[in-house]
Chain A
Amino acid sequence: MRLLKLVPDDTNIDFLRWRKVASFMSFFLVAVSIALVAVKGLNLGVDFVGGQSVRVEFTQGMPPIDEIREKVGDIGLGEATIQQFGSDKAVSIRTALPDGDKSAAERAGQQLVSGIQKAFPTAKTGSVETVSGKVSGELIRTGAISLGLAILGISIYIWIRFEWQFGVGALGRLFHEVSLTFGLFAVTQMQFDLNSVAALLTIVGYSLNDTIVVYDRIRENLKKYRKMEIVPLLNLSINETLSRTVMTTVAMVLALGMLLLFGPDVIFGFTAAMLFGVFIGGYSSVLMSTPVLVWLKVGPHSFVPRTTAGMDGGERVERKDDGAVV
């Protein structure tokens, strides 16, 4: 049986030629994402802002959103956020955190459920969440801390295992991936809740695998081809790992695509975010995570133990300045 090759043998694509364009694009996208988050904001779920959220399923045809909005408004809990939820029969109805003590959210939750049941007797309330302001604040804090620490811890490990330039590269890449995903949440206004944080962490983890694979090959080639200039060496490394990158990306896209198409609607947003993350990950490992190494002047010297190099000058390979200039 002839096996399928997703990438032809011996590719020799000059990826680094596009590094300026790619870097510009990445900077641009990160800036746009941050701006989007700042301007449009994230559609934060009750996990993070407090309040109450009810998932309503309409078994006998869904009334127009405006009608739902009006009737929910009559319950007297203020403006409601109403969002279609996966299928075309279900919506999530969210109202803001009521004023008052910490039990206010709980009471408002009951009020919302009974109000909806009265307004739409045939509708089913599938899930109810109420989170008080104090708890939501804590959830934001722990979520942000764990995300930040995970990224930092990973970068430190890469710095120790590789070299500091690689640590910086990984940090930059993780920041890139996370910002772009936040940008996606801002532009689609998909609900951002604790499950989204899990999706974000998955993207971080996946992107990490990619970074390490490429970096590992660069480290190997730096030791192997001491006299090669950095740009061709990076190109070689990317080309050598290209078939793996493509294969893994295709496998992940396939798996996530199926989850997106056939999975339950509760994981829709979550899968969509991961799928997006895989796409950025593919782009990043080919075009984005290597230019940093050129700027930070990684060379064969990066992996020669400094003490030995000092004592035994003959082994030392001169730094190629021309190869390190952008």
Chain B
Amino acid sequence: MLDFPRWKTIGISIILLLGIIFSIPTFLPQKTMDSLPSFLQAKVNLGLDLAGGSHLLLEADIVDLRKTQLANMEKTVRTAMRGESGPDDDIAIGELSTAGGKISFLVRDQTKLDAARERLFSETQGAGLTGQRDWSINVIDSARIVMTPTSAGQAQAVKNAMDTARDIIDKRVNALGTREPTIIREGDDRVVVQVPGLDDPAALKELIGKTARLEFRMVDANADPAEAAAGRVPVGSEIVPYAEGEGSGAPFEVLRRQVMISGEQLIDAKQSYDPQNNQPVVSIRFDSGGSSTFAKVTAQSVGKRFAMVLDGKVLSAPSINEPILGGSAQISGSFSVASANALAISLRSGALPVKMTVVEERTVTPELGADSIRKGAIAGIIATVSVLVLMLVVYGRFGVYACIALAFNVFLIIATMAAFNATLTLPGIAGFVLTIGAAVDANVLINERIREELKRGRKIFQAVELGYSEASRAIFDANVTNVIAAALMFWFGSGPIKGFAVVLTIGIVTSVFTAVTVTRMFVAHWLRTKRPTSINI
């Protein structure tokens, strides 16, 4: 007990000092923090439930993704069969169907069956590390080719789509200019978006919820409106509804299926005003390929109408008065400045490869958050002070040591959390309270034990020694069980429970260290230098 080697004292002091140094930035305002050296920039983040902000959980529509995947493959099949070197190279196919999530078609000339398979084979790819291809190609009835997506291929497609979606959402949220948003993938098909300080998530949802798939398509002038209303349209055309609040007269347009230009060919989109009526519009610019296509098509189709389609809804369908040559166009619709801006951002960042739906939303206004923090801090201080006073009144000098250790414990928890860049949430505070309780309890155990040993007539040094060693066993067991609980909660729990587990784990380690090792150092030092003949505990 008394031989507390110098290196240990120095080691402990260094740890405590580091604890204080690294916990300081957390208490400093952001401005002061920015002027600190970079290794001191780490601080504890406050969770959105404390600081205010929005948390959104988005889930991908996998069914929709499969549909898109199938539609794309259908297109690929058509192109592949058309051949590269002119009509001679074509492989005639028929009865192309996408029913049941498979692509099935007839090869008219059976001698070309192998060639058709060959072409499809080069269009499909290996999926992941398994060596499995993303589509399996089978021939049935000696003339029909059936393509089925493999499970590895589907998993790969979801993964790719989610990675892209995450990046696109990241771009969009950052374009809002908000401070330190967090965008992470969760599970197979989800993305979490957290934006601190944002109290109106409507704009955010508007922005990231849009798939932003933009298409320019020709209006089918041959379609008979009466027939179309009954749901009958010419081959190669389809009915596309108007977006909410758009269009006049008919609620839909009959459009050619073929897409003239799509959003991928955009190089820029920004919000501007229509010079004629000063309405907010979105100005877009195409890349060179897009520009020439646009010029060619509009030159051929003067007097006809084309439609701008966003996410499967028609925004507007103007007539082409003259060829549009400059490679730029305006998307008009009933926009406000904000919604036009949001659309511009969405278009700039690209279309989401899959439709995303908000399945969970939590928003706390910054005022409420600030109020919680202020009251929480005051209550925390009052609570801590009253516990400290109690320790002092009950254990005297030993209580003082316990109090100092407790203060260090708080610093160490904060420093460790800052080092890991952990986030403190409301349940995290519960974990904090529990570890403080455990630290107090450890000192109570030790001190009660010392009292007991003194009562049994042991000498001071021996009583202190025994107090620490005997109490340590119970302290150890109690804390290991808590770590077990925390680890299980971390692995199996979700959001808030995880936050609780993180703080608990950190707190258990630091509280054992401060409540046992640090107080022991103080006590040993005191006993060695003062050699008291009686102790008051």
Contacts and interface: CB of A to CB of B under 8 A. Distances in A.
A205 B49 contact: no
Given A127-B365, A128-B361, A135-B359, A251 B500 contact: no
B274 interface: no
A6 B383 contact: no
A259 B365 contact: no
A125 B430 contact: no
A99 to B, nearest CB: 16
A205 B483 CA distance: 10
A208 interface: yes
Given A216-B473, A251-B444, A106 B492 contact: no
Given A157-B480, A254-B386, A258-B386, A264 B372 contact: yes
Contact of A254 (B383, B448, B500): B383
Contact of A212 (B59, B382, B481): B481
A279 B42 CA distance: 39
Contact of A158 (B376, B382, B481): B481
A139 B382 CA distance: 34
B17 interface: no
A198 B441 contact: no
A255 B396 contact: no
A245 B359 CA distance: 46
Nearest to B436: A255
Nearest to B202: A110
B342 interface: no
A251 B391 contact: yes
B497 A143 contact: yes
Contacts of A55: 368
Given A132-B360, A199-B430, A263-B375, A146 B393 contact: no
A208 B478 contact: yes
Contact of A124 (B365, B430, B477): B365
Contact of B433 (A103, A149, A161, A256): A256
Interface string A107-122: 0011000000000000
A131 to B, nearest CB: 5
Indicate the size class of the contact surface on chain A. 35 or more
B69 interface: no
A270 to B, nearest CB: 7
B378 interface: yes
A69 B380 CA distance: 35
Contacts of B433: 202, 255-256, 259, 274
Contacts of A130: 358, 360-361
Nearest to A266: B372
B481 A197 contact: no
A243 interface: yes
Contact of A142 (B49, B360, B493): B493
Interface of B: 49, 57, 59, 201-202, 205, 357-365, 367-368, 371-376, 378-380, 382-384, 386-387, 390-391, 393-396, 426-427, 429-431, 433-434, 436-438, 440-441, 444-445, 448, 451-452, 455, 470, 473-474, 477-478, 480-482, 484-485, 488-489, 491-497, 499-500, 504, 536-537
Given A255-B433, A263-B376, A103 B358 contact: yes
B205 A267 contact: no
A126 interface: yes
A134 interface: yes
A213 interface: yes
A251 B437 CA distance: 8
Contact of A255 (B364, B383, B474, B536): B383
Contacts of B440: 248, 251-252
Contacts of A110: 202
Contacts of A202: 430-431, 433-434, 500
Contacts of B49: 266
A55 B451 CA distance: 51
B536 A251 contact: no
Contact of B379 (A124, A132, A138, A263): A263
A315 interface: no
A259 B380 contact: yes
A212 B451 CA distance: 20
A150 B364 CA distance: 30
Closest 9 CB pairs of A and B: A198-B427, A146-B493, A258-B383, A263-B379, A126-B368, A262-B379, A216-B474, A264-B375, A264-B372
